C-alpha cells in the first residue's frame, strides 16, 4: 500500500505501522449496524472500542510474523491495517521451508499467547459469571470474554490452509520439505483457490467481508504462484543477460522540447542522460510530460531527470532486481560494472524475457 493512502501510527522495532483510509468504512459500517439494532450510544462506543482492540491484536499478530522474519534474516518495511485485517510488507522473506514455517506460525502463536493472558486475567482478576456470557451487546463485563473468543477465532481462521493465508503458508512450507518450492506453491495455490470460492459463496449469504477475503485469497494465491514461477526462471540469470546497451542518450543540457521530439521517433521508455560523457541520470516519458506541463519546452532535461535512481550491478541476480523494480515501481534502472556505466535494465524487457522463457519451457 502506498503511504499517501494510509495514516502513520508509529514505527515499533523500526517497522512502519499505518492504517489504510478504507478502515473508516469498517467503523462506519459498525455504527450503521449498531444504530439499526437500536443500541444506545454507550453500547455503540463499546462496539467501536472492541473492534479497535481486536486490531491491536492484529498488529501484534503481524509483528509476530515480522520479528520472526527479521530474526531469520528477512526484511520488513511496513505493516498496514486494512478493514479485513493486517498486511506486513516484507521486502525479503525467508524462503527455506523451516524458516517459512516459523514465520507463518509466529503470528497465530501471538494470538494464542494473548488468549492465555486473557484466561489468566479472567481467572485471577476478572472472574467470569454466567451473566457475562450474554453476547447480544458488548459490555465492560463481557469484554474480556469477547476478546478471548475473537483471538481464538483469529487463530482458527488464519490456520485454514488457504494460501496465501498463514495456514496456507504453513501447508506450503511443509510440502516444500518434500518437493520443490514451485511444486509446493502450485498445490497450495490450488487448495487456496478452492477455499477462496467457498469464502465468496459464504460471503453472499453470511457476511460480505468474506467476499473481500475470498477475492484477496484468490488473487493473492495466483499472484504469488506467478512470482515463484518467475523466480524459478530468473534465478538462473543475471542482469548481464538482459542488459540493454543500445539505449538512447541525451546530454544534460538539451531541452525537454528536444527530448519530446526524439521520443516520438523511438520506442524506448526514456533516455539515459549524460554530462561530459559520463552517466548523469535517467529521463522517463513521465518526466518529459511533467517537464512540458510545468516548465515548457526550453527547460533543460537535467532539471527533470532522476539522478538518484539506484543502480544495479551487471552480476546481480535478475530475479532480485526484478522484484525490487516491481516493488519500487522503477520502469528503468542504470546498470554498472564497478564504477563503469554499462547500460540500462528495463522492466518491460524482463517481462518479455520471461514470456520467451515460459514459452520455451
36 vs 168, higher pLDDT? 168
Q: Quick one: pLDDT at residue 158?
A: 93
Average pLDDT over residues 154-178: 94
Average pLDDT over residues 306-315: 88
- pLDDT digits 0-9 by tens, 283-298: 888 888 889 999 889 9
Average pLDDT over residues 162-188: 94
Q: Which of 71, 68, 74 is nearest to 95 (CA)?
A: 74
Average pLDDT over residues 87-114: 92
Which of the four pLDDT bands, split at 50, 70 and 90, describes residue 322? Answer: very high
264 vs 231, higher pLDDT? 231
Which of the four pLDDT bands, split at 50, 70 and 90, describes residue 82? Answer: confident
The Cα–Cα gap between 252 and 257 comes to: 13
Q: Quick one: pLDDT at residue 167?
A: 95
Q: Quick one: pLDDT at residue 287?
A: 87
Q: Reply yes or no on whether the pLDDT at 2 is more than 50.
A: no
The Cα–Cα gap between 252 and 116 comes to: 64
Q: Reply yes or no on whether the pLDDT at 66 is more than 50.
A: yes
For the chain, what percent of residues have pLDDT higher than 70? Answer: 95
Q: Reply yes or no on whether the pLDDT at 1 is more than 50.
A: no
Q: Reply yes or no on whether the pLDDT at 241 is more than 90.
A: yes
User: Among 2-11, 52-61, 343-352, which stretch is predicted with the lowest mean pLDDT?
Assistant: 2-11
Average pLDDT over residues 42-67: 93
Q: Reply yes or no on whether the pLDDT at 309 is more than 90.
A: no
Q: Quick one: pLDDT at residue 120?
A: 93
Average pLDDT over residues 318-327: 90
Q: Reply yes or no on whether the pLDDT at 278 is more than 60.
A: yes
Mean residue pLDDT of the chain comes to: 88
Highest mean pLDDT among 5-19, 32-46, 177-191: 177-191
Average pLDDT over residues 57-64: 96
63 vs 126, higher pLDDT? 63
> 66-75: long-range contacts at Cβ-Cβ below 8 A with a sequence spacing of 24 or more?
66/13, 66/15, 66/90, 67/13, 67/106, 68/102, 68/103, 68/106, 69/93, 69/94, 69/103, 70/13, 72/99, 72/102, 72/103, 73/99, 74/103
Q: Reply yes or no on whether the pLDDT at 277 is more than 80.
A: no
Q: Reply yes or no on whether the pLDDT at 182 is more than 80.
A: yes
Q: CB-based contacts of 177: which residues, under 8 Å, 6+ apart? A: 97, 98
- pLDDT digits 0-9 by tens, 131-152: 656 666 788 888 998 999 999 9
Domains delineated in the chain: 3-233 (no CATH), 239-360 (3.10.580.10)
Cβ atoms of 272 and 249 within 8 Å: the answer is yes
Average pLDDT over residues 216-244: 91
Average pLDDT over residues 55-65: 96
The Cα–Cα gap between 168 and 180 comes to: 16
The Cα–Cα gap between 298 and 211 comes to: 53
Q: Reply yes or no on whether the pLDDT at 44 is more than 70.
A: yes
Amino acid at each position: 500500500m502506498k503511504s499517501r493512502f494510509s495514516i502513520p501510527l508509529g514505527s515499533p522495532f523500526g517497522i512502519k505501522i499505518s492504517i489504510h483510509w478504507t478502515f473508516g468504512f469498517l467503523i462506519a459500517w459498525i455504527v450503521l449496524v449498531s444504530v439499526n439494532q437500536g443500541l444506545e450510544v454507550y453500547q455503540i462506543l463499546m462496539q467501536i472500542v472492541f473492534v479497535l482492540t481486536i486490531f491491536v491484536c492484529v498488529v501484534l499478530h503481524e509483528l509476530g510474523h515480522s520479528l520472526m522474519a527479521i530474526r531469520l534474516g528477512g526484511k520488513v518495511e511496513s505493516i498496514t491495517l486494512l478493514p479485513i485485517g493486517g498486511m506486513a510488507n516484507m521486502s525479503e522473506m525467508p524462503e527455506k521451508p523451516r524458516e517459512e514455517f516459523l514465520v507463518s506460525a509466529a503470528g497465530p502463536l501471538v494470538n494464542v499467547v494473548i488468549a492465555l493472558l486473557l484466561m489468566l486475567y479472567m481467572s485471577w482478576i476478572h472472574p467470569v459469571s454466567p451473566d457475562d456470557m450474554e453476547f447480544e451487546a458488548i459490555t465492560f463485563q463481557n469484554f474480556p470474554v469477547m476478546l478471548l473468543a475473537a483471538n481464538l477465532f483469529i487463530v482458527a481462521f488464519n490456520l485454514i490452509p488457504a494460501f496465501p493465508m498463514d495456514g496456507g503458508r504453513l501447508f506450503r512450507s511443509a510440502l516444500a520439505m518434500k518437493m520443490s518450492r514451485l511444486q509446493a506453491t502450485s498445490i497450495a495455490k490450488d487448495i487456496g483457490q478452492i477455499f477462496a470460492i467457498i469464502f465468496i459463496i459464504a460471503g453472499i449469504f453470511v457476511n460480505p467481508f468474506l467476499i473481500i477475503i475470498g477475492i484477496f485469497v484468490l488473487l493473492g494465491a495466483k499472484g504469488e504462484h506467478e512470482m515463484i514461477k518467475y523466480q524459478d526462471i530468473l534465478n538462473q540469470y543475471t542482469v548481464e543477460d538482459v542488459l540493454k546497451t543500445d539505449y538512447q542518450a541525451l546530454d544534460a543540457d538539451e531541452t525537454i522540447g528536444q527530448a519530446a521530439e526524439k521520443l516520438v521517433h523511438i520506442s524506448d521508455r526514456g533516455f539515459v542522460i549524460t554530462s561530459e560523457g559520463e552517466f548523469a541520470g535517467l529521463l522517463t516519458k513521465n518526466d518529459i510530460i511533467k517537464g512540458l506541463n510545468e516548465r515548457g519546452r526550453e527547460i533543460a532535461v537535467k532539471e527533470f531527470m532522476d539522478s538518484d535512481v539506484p543502480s544495479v550491478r551487471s552480476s546481480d541476480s535478475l530475479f532480485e532486481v526484478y522484484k525490487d523494480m516491481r516493488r519500487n515501481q522503477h520502469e528503468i534502472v542504470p546498470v554498472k560494472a564497478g564504477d563503469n556505466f554499462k547500460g540500462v535494465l528495463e522492466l518491460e524487457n524482463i517481462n518479455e524475457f520471461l514470456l520467451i522463457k515460459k514459452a520455451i519451457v
